Amino acid sequence: MITKEETGQYLSENKQRFLDELFELLRIPSVSADPKFKDDVQKAAQFVKGKFEAAGADNAEVCQTKGHPIVYADKIIDPNLPTVLVYGHYDVQPADPYELWDSEPFNPVIKNGKIVARGSADDKGQMYIHIKAFEMMMKNGGVPCNVKFMIEGEEEVGSENLEIFIAENKEKLKSDVIVISDTSMIANEHPSMAVSLKGISYLEIEVTGPNRDLHSGVYGGAVANPINVLARMITSLQDENRKVTVPGFYDKVLELTQAERDEMNKAPFNLDDFKKDLNIDDVEGEASYNTLERMGIRPTLDVNGIWGGYIGEGAKTVLPSKAHAKISMRLVPNQNHHEITKLFKEHLESIAPKSVKVKVTPHHGGMPYVTPTDTDSYKAAEKAFEKVWGKKPIPTREGGSIPIVSLFKDILGLDSILMGFGLNSDAIHSPNESFGVENYLKGIETVALFHQYFAELGKK
């Protein structure tokens, strides 16, 4: 029922209020990781619930969990119509280091056309798009299909209670598709939608050498140094072509055809700009794949943290008892994170020299995910993007992982459409996080039109 003309009209009339409301939400420091912000997290949940009510939701509730609450809301107009379930989160990453921000992280400002604040892109701004799109539809003839919303407060800390919530509320959450705005587009001139996400296997390694820290002068060169051993083990995990050497690692990897690779390489990408942005002289990665492919379709292995011995100022001549590393592997379809975790652990234990003891502890994992693109929901999203941004969105394969997406598939049997409106330059999780005003406002239109097109396609 709603048209591009109506969305444009409503937007121009309510633009300032839409920004004001988002700013109000951004001022609440709902940092889920830090207990000191517990009350603010609750406050943000109440704010979100209130806005659903104001926009015309039938039910809007703050569902308490063992951790931070989940806001649920819905508007059911006809059980025979299709149902969209929107997922988002109102919690944010910690803002530190504060000193690297040019403005207060919880006092949003607009700078160069972008809203600068913690959570502006991830995910308050992108989540709030859906509340305002809901309002826009309600004020322009009502929603064209049933809508449900599930907005959590623990995304930045692992969504532990969300998994319990969805397992316990399968009926309540019954829908046809899930829509998530928590990813980014290539550029405003090149709208895109992520159609695949990598999985992850994250582990921690502890290497123990002697039973106590030793004097490196007395024992050095005669007793295995756990840091040197850890460095050797890490090095051996990749060969000179940067292939992961864990036996079986690539066995289930879905290899793309040359045609598929050609297709994905049509995405606009400039290696010089990429290097300049990161201030690096060269890239590095798996041989026979280019940078886009390494990021999008190849499994990878990175050390995310390493520590051992003396790491303070100055010098201490210690041969430490222990050394540690955190290592993650990003997985692609059809790798299974349980299998990869097992292979990695077994391999690492098998290559440990007798001179040390090695302990491998799995942290967490997630399955890779692929959005099917031959569905009504994907086509509706594609059409909505094209209508608002002037171009058909490029399907992209993302290196990031959103473990809940594969959980939704497993527990609810639902696919997710990743309608991300952010940009890579938004600096999510970093100081000076920002979100384009244009992205925010156009996002609202895009989401409203998506519902319209999805309802139309679903009717037949």
**In the range 190-219, which residues lie near its own copies by CB under 8 A?**
198, 200, 202, 204, 209-219
Does position 306 interact with its own copies (CB under 8 A)? The reply is yes
Contacts of its own copies in 404-433 (CB under 8 A)? 424, 428-430
Pick the catalytic residue from 6, 21, 91, 135: 91
Coil/strand/helix, residue 423:
strand
- Residue with Cβ nearer its own copies (14 or 341): 341
State the Cα–Cα distance between residues 122 and 427, nearest whole angstrom: 9
Applying CB under 8 A, the span of 13-21, 276-284, 342-350, 434-442 interacting with its own copies comes to 276-284
Shortest distance, position 426 Cβ to its own copies, whole Å? 11
Which residue of 51, 68, 330, 345 would you call a contact of its own copies, by CB under 8 A?
A: 330
Residue of 223, 253, 411, 457 that binds its own copies (CB under 8 A) = 223
The kind and range of the H/E element at 439 are helix 437-459
CB of 28 to its own copies, least distance (A): 23
Stretch that binds its own copies, among 56-64, 71-79, 105-113, 293-301 (CB under 8 A): 293-301
394 three-state secondary structure:
strand
Which helix or strand (DSSP H or E) is residue 318 part of? strand 318-319
**Residue with Cβ nearer its own copies (168 or 239):** 239
Q: Is 227 in the site for its own copies (CB under 8 A)?
A: yes
Rounded to the nearest 5°, which phi and psi values hold at 361? -120, 115
Binding of residue 94 to its own copies (CB under 8 A): no
Pick the catalytic residue from 154, 155, 182, 382: 155
| Angstrom distances, CA of residue 363 to CA of 141, 159, 160, 337, 401 | 48, 14, 13, 11, 15
**CA terminus-to-terminus distance, the chain:** 16
C-alpha distances in Å from residue 27, one per residue of 17, 40, 119, 291, 431: 15, 10, 10, 38, 16
> With contact defined as beta carbons under 8 Å apart, do 440 and 115 qualify?
yes
Count of residues of this chain found to bind its own copies when the rule CB under 8 A is applied? 85
Contact 352, 336 (CB under 8 A): no
Give the pair of three-digit tokens for residue 230.
């850890």
Closer residue to its own copies in complex, CB, 82/299: 299
User: E strands, 119-213, where?
Assistant: 146-152, 177-180, 184-185, 192-197, 199-208
227 token code pair: 């840091």
Residue 220 touching its own copies (CB under 8 A) = yes
Binding mask 357-386 for its own copies (x = CB under 8 A): ------xx----------------------
Q: Which is nearer to its own copies, 82 or 366 (CB)?
A: 366
6 binds its own copies (CB under 8 A): no
Q: How many CB atoms lie within 10 A of CB 323?
A: 23
CB of 72 to its own copies, least distance (A): 27
Instruction: Choose the binding region for its own copies from 10-18, 21-29, 272-280, 409-417 (rule: CB under 8 A).
Output: 272-280
Matching residue, tokens 């000076």: 432
CB of 421 to its own copies, least distance (A): 16
The token duo for 135 is 């309002």
Residue 155 appears among annotated catalytic residues: yes
Choose, by CB under 8 A, the member of 78, 96, 280, 425 that binds its own copies: 280
C-alpha angle 48/54/57, rounded to 5°?
85
Is residue 326 a contact residue for its own copies (CB under 8 A)?
A: yes
CB distance 199 to 332 below 8 Å? yes
Is residue 400 at the binding interface for its own copies, with CB under 8 A as the rule? yes
Among the candidate windows 324-332, 337-345, 389-397, 443-451, which touches its own copies by CB under 8 A? 324-332
**Please, which residues have CB within 8 angstroms of residue 240's CB and are 6 or more apart in sequence?**
none
SS3 state at 235: helix
Choose, by CB under 8 A, the member of 15, 38, 252, 294 that binds its own copies.
294
Q: Least distance from C-beta 194 to its own copies, angstroms? A: 11
Residues forming the active site = 91, 155
